[in-house]
Amino acid sequence: MTVFNPADGTSDGMSAQGVPADAMRRLAELQPGKPGSIFTSDLSVNEFLLVREAGFRPIGLVLGSSIYHVGIQLGRWGKNQELTTLSQAMYHARELAMTRMEAEAAQLGADGIVGVRLSVEARDFGSDIAEFIAIGTAVKADHPAPGSNGGSWRNLKGQPFTSDLNGQDFWTLIRAGYAPLGMVMGTCVYHIAHQRMGQMFSNIGKNVEIEQFTQALYDARELAMARMQHEAEELRAEGIVGVQLNAHNHRWGGHTTEFFAIGTAVRPLREDHVIERPTMVLSLDG
């Protein structure tokens, strides 16, 4: 740490001393600018700086949103089944939000969108209606992409790449020689059968597996993951990183659940995928 001396000039040569003066000088030079020439980004300071260091410039906050009325479908009381109407709704609404966000980014001439958050918000719309929203920061690369893709960072469909990784993960990914292709997702809304009376009675006082429930959870998760896998294959991805598999109940009661898998599909930028060996740190503050 530098010793601070407020009376000091800038010629001292201590590492931080010149910096505040440079910063203040910049403030003095500021011109009331054209509003159009300024980027916005909803990245945190850490993320902003890391994305810059990874060789990308933020060019604007982009978002897409869709307020969607989910149709009505009831599962049969005693049957394990996918509720296809609801699955389609969850898929379609998210797709709409993502597409609108990508369209905004494409309009800005972005190479990609980082730090995407995809969420469902019930808000005050009444039952069966929710807002599906995708928010991210559009970025443009300083240099063309290395590797086979003709220097383009965009994906096979010519769309900007999307990634739900935060700035830290994004930095590490690029460092390790991978580029994100796009967010891939799979969803499945599943109705889990209720137990029949006879079954319930025969299990009283016993600790047993309810195969029917186990199987239902398996079916639903496998469907969601298979759909995500399929999307990644369509993008010709090498793999998917940061997959999350979540279960959302939304407002459908205990037996109807959405299983939602989401991750970022990646492609290699070069052959080796080694990053410099991290330094171990042991924090002393608690």
Partner 1 sequence: MSGDWAGDGLPPAAAARIAEVRGSGTWSSALSTGEFAALRAVGFEPVGQVMGSAVYHVGRSGRYWGYHDCLYGGMQYAFSSEPAPVALSGRGAPSAGLIEVLDRARRSALDRMTAECSALGGDGVVAAQLTVAPFVAQPNCLEFKVIGTAVRAAGTVRAPEPFTCHLDGQGFAKLVTAGWVPVELLYGMSVGVRHDDYRTRAQMRSWSNTEVSGWSELVQAVRSDARAHLRAQTGRRGGDGVILSAGGLRIWGESCMRRSSDDQKDHVAEATLLGTTVARFTAREEPPRTLTVMPLDPERRRRTMRRTATDMR
Residues 129-158 that bind partner 1 (CB under 8 A): 129, 131
Q: Are 56 and 140 in contact (CB under 8 A)?
A: yes
Q: Could you say whether residue 32 binds partner 1 (CB under 8 A)?
A: yes
**Which two three-digit tokens encode residue 161?**
């790449």
Stretch that binds partner 1, among 75-83, 207-215, 222-230, 241-249 (CB under 8 A): 241-249
The one-letter amino acid code at 167 reads: G
Q: Could you say whether residue 195 binds partner 1 (CB under 8 A)?
A: no
The residue (of 172 and 212) whose beta carbon lies closer to partner 1 is: 172
CB of 137 to partner 1, least distance (A): 9
Q: Could you say whether residue 274 binds partner 1 (CB under 8 A)?
A: no
Whole-number Å distance between alpha carbons of 135 and 52: 19
Q: Could you say whether residue 49 binds partner 1 (CB under 8 A)?
A: yes
- Angle at Cα 195 formed by Cα 190 and Cα 196, nearest 5°? 135
Q: Could you say whether residue 171 binds partner 1 (CB under 8 A)?
A: yes
Q: Could you say whether residue 242 binds partner 1 (CB under 8 A)?
A: yes
Whole-number Å distance between alpha carbons of 54 and 34: 28
Q: Could you say whether residue 121 binds partner 1 (CB under 8 A)?
A: yes
The residue (of 32 and 198) whose beta carbon lies closer to partner 1 is: 32
Bridge-based pairing of strands 81-82 and 256-268 is unpaired
- Report the residue from 76, 78, 85, 233 that binds partner 1 according to the rule CB under 8 A: 85
- 120-123 contact pairs (CB < 8 A, 24+): 120/248, 120/250, 122/250, 122/251
